[in-house]
Every structure is written in structure tokens, then in C-alpha cells.
Structure 1
């Protein structure tokens, strides 16, 4: 297949994903039963985010600096399953670049990746020899693996001798200055609550100016109160709340989110840590020193950093060039073609 043909196939896939089809809706329902975190609303949001990137203009612009390649090399893909179709960007990048993808899906995937692969093969049968779904990766030339800090050590041990991208835990943070509008704070609610806060682009830490009115933040995110109707989220909220109460830990509670002062970046589910600052430059120096642990920042404040930064409400809507961990996957593939 040529690059033009591969682009056309993914454009057609994007058009299918934007349709209100019975086939797609049935898949969303089945996935929500297999994995209760994959609610139809969250999976639909992810699918729409994917589809918005699968346009001829965006794909052509993204690939314009790279040659038309068709290689026999195989890329092993170990996909995460913390949020629906979180590994799709890796799959897209490998296939559209002309490589073969050997895919190890997460046990949490609930059939979503297989569904999209089958739909892509229906659109473009020429991909048949370029896609392998495997229980165990073998005979691959490159590896892209996404997991936790613990699993990354396993990946390094077994795959470190091959050209590789191995991703670890990352979190995202928000920097506020107290001047945010209610609408901007509602956007921050999406950064926190979309996908239940399970993604690496989910905001788990707030940096707020000293004396910040917490009620202002809680008022801005009030529209997300229905999240507590999800039993798995509610279980986490109730558990963490009980721990803080038993331990006498100071925290704020609006009935569906716990806000606790803590220097760490990674907070438990249904909890967001916060840290106060007097000088924003000091906070930014601390964040820049930890940039290898941060996926992205959201803020309405003009800040100086190399960490990818988005307006409030935009952390969960990455463009094609918003690479996980800041590693350009296309550059990696073509450097090892």
C-alpha cells in the first residue's frame, strides 16, 4: 500500500466512527459490560476524539515531512487499557508509516481494538498482512510498550536490546491563579473527570495561589456531580474519604471529589492533590524539574515550560502531534526503518 492509500483507509475509518451506527452502539454496550470503566459516554468521547484526527488534511499535514515507506519490519505494540482505545495512536502511527503491527492488547480492552482492526480490514483488506493480534509478541524488530513504572522494568529487561519506546506512569497537573472564570473551571472538570481520571492526561494535581477560595473551584466543577452515580468511582471516593477521616487528614470534600494538600503528583482515584504557592516561578521550577513524570499541564496562566501545556478543558483532546511522553513516534519509526 502507498501512503496515499493508507491515509484514505484511515479517513474512511474516521468517517465510520462519526456515524451513529447500530454496529458501533452495540460494541459500546458490550464494552461497558466487560469493563465497567468503559461507559458508553467515555468510549464515545474517545472515539470522537480519534475520528476528529482522521481527516485527509490532518493526516497529510502530520505525515508531510516523512517518506512514502513500505517496510517488512514489524513493530511490537503492548497497549495499555486504563482508558478506552488509549493505544490507538500507536497503532495508527505504525500502520500509516508502512510497518507491520504485532499487537498485544490489554486484558481491559473489552474488544475495542479488535473491533477497530476488523473495521479497518473491511475498509482496506490490503492491511491484512500488516496486522497481527498476538497473545505473546515474537519476531518483531521494534517495540513500543506502555505500562506502569513496575511493568516498565519488565519491558526494559525483555525488550531493551531492540529499538524501543517504553512508557512509564505519568500524571497531569493544573496551574491556577484564581482569576479563572466559572466556564474555565468547568473545562478543568473535564480534565479531571473525563475517563474517571484514569488517564495519564487526567489532572491529578492542582497548584493554587495562597489564600485561594476552594469554594470557587468546587462551584466550577459542580456539573460533574453525577460521576458519583458510577459504583466503581463511588467505591473509591468512599474508601479514600474514610481513610482521610480515620487518619485525621485535612481535606476538602464536595460530595464527589476529595481535595487534599499533598506534595505528590499522583493522587488516588476520586481525589486531587493540591499545593499552594506564593511565587509561580518557584512552582514552575519544581514542575520543570519533574517533567519526566508529567504528561501535560493545563492553565490559563502564561507560564514558561517545555512541558506540553493546554488551556483548561483541553488535556483530554490530543492532536496527532501530541505524542505520549513527548517522544515523537514517527521520528522513532523512520529512524529505525
Structure 2
């Protein structure tokens, strides 16, 4: 199986996923192997939602649409053109996946297979229905993938390298357990937004997507704002109001009520609008239904702080503030070449 065959297979997968996007489930009879897989994937989506209360209709279909948009032939070609895949000796790469948002480990899965390696996947119990089914689809549209994709519920064995994602605590375990293997170990990270007070309503509304998408559970979700002294939050609260229906969703509402009670009993100062709380705090990781904020004196001082804390930050949302910033509203719309933790996964895979 050559590189072009792998590109074609994932492009076919993108067309398959496009039937399950944000416009609702719409069957496309031109999709390869659709009769075998269309109805079955509808069932897997149903199972995923039943198994994990955070995997709502909107969140699952947004994730599937995002991958459909990414997996076009043009996008894949642009991505792989940066690398030399010649003379890759196939190895077995283990992936330990998180389960915080739907298909959160898919990019690692894609990178391993596109690099010509075999993949050994240990999924999170929170997100175990979608990927195995998509792997079967790949094996049908490209038989060369057969025997190259394995899922396990046990500890990883018989692998040559590993990509593991977890909390700061589990990362310490990963670093010890995999110390003799080439590895990428990902820890907790959060995303931040830099506000100046000059943002337009459209920019702030887009920022609300960065905050609320997936209930803020992703590392690319904005969990902290940096604002100038005397910043007026009125425009921010007005702009995020479009997300107010989120308070009617039980798991989110329970977290909102719990965290609000904790803040009130602790007599913390905070602002809230009935579905979101903002609290001044130096931490980066905020609880669900809460966004932290911190004041800054000037841009140079803030840039220094962000550089010092770069190992805690996934994305910086801003408008002409720094290099590699993310546009308002785009944290959960990464391109194939946007790597977690700024670690080039494919480059790593080509060197093992």
C-alpha cells in the first residue's frame, strides 16, 4: 500500500463522515461502501451518545463535520507534502487516547497510518464506539489497512513507540512506564484568549464558540481570558448570550450549580449571567461553566508570561498579538498540520 492509496482511503472516509455533519444525517449514494456502513454508523453514534452524557447530538456531529472538512484530498495532500515518506520501515505505534471530546485521538490515529506504520489503540472508556467502526470502513475501502489496525482494552504490549495523552498525574506514570520507548507524552493544557477591549461583537461571539463548544472539555477550549485593567465585561457577556440554552442541559447545569455554590460558600468574587461564571484566578484550568480571567498591564509583560507558561497552554486566541495565534472562533477547527502541544507527530513517526 503506497502513500496515494492511504490518501485516497482517508479522503473516502472524509466523504463518508460528511453525511453525519452539522446539517443532520443526509445519505449520499455516491459514497464508497456506503451500503455496508451508513446505517451501522448511525447506530454507533447513538451508542456513543447513550454511553457518554457529554457526547450530545450537537457535539458528536460537530466533531464528525470537522473531520469531514479536514479529510479532503486537497487538505491531505497539502499536509503530507511537507514530509518524505520514502523508506519508512513499518513499526507498531501504541496510542493511549483521551475521551474528553468525540474522536479526540483521531489525529494521532491518522498520523500513524498515514506515515506507513501499524497502530495499536487503547481507547478511553468514555469514547469507544466511533473509531473502531471507522477503522473497519478504512479496511474495506483500502484492504491494505487490514492487519495494520488493532484495538486493545489491555495494557499495551509489543509496540515500538507510543503516543499517550492524559492528565498531569497519568503523564508521570506514562513517562516512567514508557521510558525505554520513543514517545510523545501529552499532559494537561488549556487555551487562553487575549482581549484588549477593542474586539467587535462578531469576534466576541466567535470567542463564545471557543469557550462553550464541547462544554469547554477540550484542551483547545478557552478556559482563561487575559484582559486589560478596568476591562468592562458587559460586551463579553452580551456576546456569549447566544449560548444560554446550554444551561438547559442537565450535566452542564449540575456543574454550574455545584461550582456556583462552592464559590458562594467560599465567598469568592465572581460575575455570572445565569449560565457562565467568570472569576479572577491565576490558574489556567477552570471548572465547567467557569472561565477564569487575569488582568495584564502591557502586552510585552503578558507575552513574557505566556512564554514562561507555554507548557500549560494549547492555543492563544488573539487578534494580531503574537505568532501562531488562533483566530477568534477557530480553536475547535484545527487543520491537519496544527499539532497538539506544537509537537510535529508525523516528524516524530518518521524518525522512530
For Structure 1 versus Structure 2, the TM-score category normalised by the shorter chain is over 0.9
**Closer/same/farther in 2, CA of residues 162 and 139 from structure 1, 3 Å limit:** same
Greater Cα shift, 257-266 or 55-64: 55-64
The 1-side partners of 2:10 and 2:100 are apart by 24
Answer whether contact 2:101 2:214 (CA < 8 A) is retained: yes
1:125 to partner: Cα distance: 2.2
For residue 242 of structure 2, give the secondary structure of its aligned residue in structure 1.
Answer: helix
The 1-side partners of 2:132 and 2:4 are apart by 24
**In the alignment, which residue of structure 2 is the partner of 1:60?**
77
Answer whether contact 1:200 1:295 (CA < 8 A) is retained: yes
1:269 to partner: Cα distance: 1.0
For residue 328 of structure 2, give the secondary structure of its aligned residue in structure 1.
Answer: coil
**RMSD, aligned α-carbons:** 1.2
Answer whether contact 2:17 2:68 (CA < 8 A) is retained: yes
- The answer to whether 1:149 aligns with 2:168 is yes
**In the alignment, which residue of structure 2 is the partner of 1:41?**
58
The 2-side partners of 1:217 and 1:144 are apart by 38
The 1-side partners of 2:73 and 2:88 are apart by 19
Task: State TM-score, norm by structure 1.
Answer: 0.96
1:103 to 102, 117, 121: 121
Deviations 1:131-151 (A, max 9, x none): 011122111001000111000
**In the alignment, which residue of structure 2 is the partner of 1:126?**
144
1:29 to 46, 63, 68: 46
- The answer to whether 1:214 aligns with 2:233 is yes
For residue 6 of structure 1, give the secondary structure of its aligned residue in structure 2.
Answer: helix
**In the alignment, which residue of structure 1 is the partner of 2:212?**
193
- The answer to whether 1:223 aligns with 2:239 is no
The 1-side partners of 2:288 and 2:173 are apart by 25
1:121 to partner: Cα distance: 1.6
Answer whether contact 2:45 2:129 (CA < 8 A) is retained: no
1:70 to partner: Cα distance: 5.3
- The answer to whether 1:335 aligns with 2:351 is yes
**In the alignment, which residue of structure 2 is the partner of 1:184?**
203
**In the alignment, which residue of structure 1 is the partner of 2:33?**
none
Alignment of structure 1 residues 1-337 onto 2, 5 Å: 1-19=1-19, 20-21=26-27, 23=39, 24-64=41-81, 65-69=83-87, 71-135=89-153, 136-300=155-319, 302-305=320-323, 308-336=324-352
Deviations 1:247-306 (A, max 9, x none): 111000010000000111111111000011231221121111100110011112x2235x
Answer whether contact 1:3 1:68 (CA < 8 A) is retained: no
The 2-side partners of 1:286 and 1:264 are apart by 13
1:232 to partner: Cα distance: 0.9
1:183 to partner: Cα distance: 1.1
Deviations 1:222-242 (A, max 9, x none): 000011111111111101101
Answer whether contact 1:263 1:275 (CA < 8 A) is retained: yes
For residue 264 of structure 2, give the secondary structure of its aligned residue in structure 1.
Answer: helix
Greater Cα shift, 66-75 or 322-331: 66-75
The 2-side partners of 1:63 and 1:124 are apart by 18
Task: Give the aligned length.
Answer: 333
The 1-side partners of 2:312 and 2:133 are apart by 32
**In the alignment, which residue of structure 1 is the partner of 2:23?**
none
Task: State TM-score, norm by structure 2.
Answer: 0.92
**In the alignment, which residue of structure 1 is the partner of 2:22?**
none
Answer whether contact 2:6 2:114 (CA < 8 A) is retained: yes
Answer whether contact 1:198 1:269 (CA < 8 A) is retained: yes
1:96 to partner: Cα distance: 1.0
For residue 283 of structure 1, give the secondary structure of its aligned residue in structure 2.
Answer: helix
The 2-side partners of 1:15 and 1:68 are apart by 27
1:26 to partner: Cα distance: 3.1
For residue 266 of structure 1, give the secondary structure of its aligned residue in structure 2.
Answer: coil
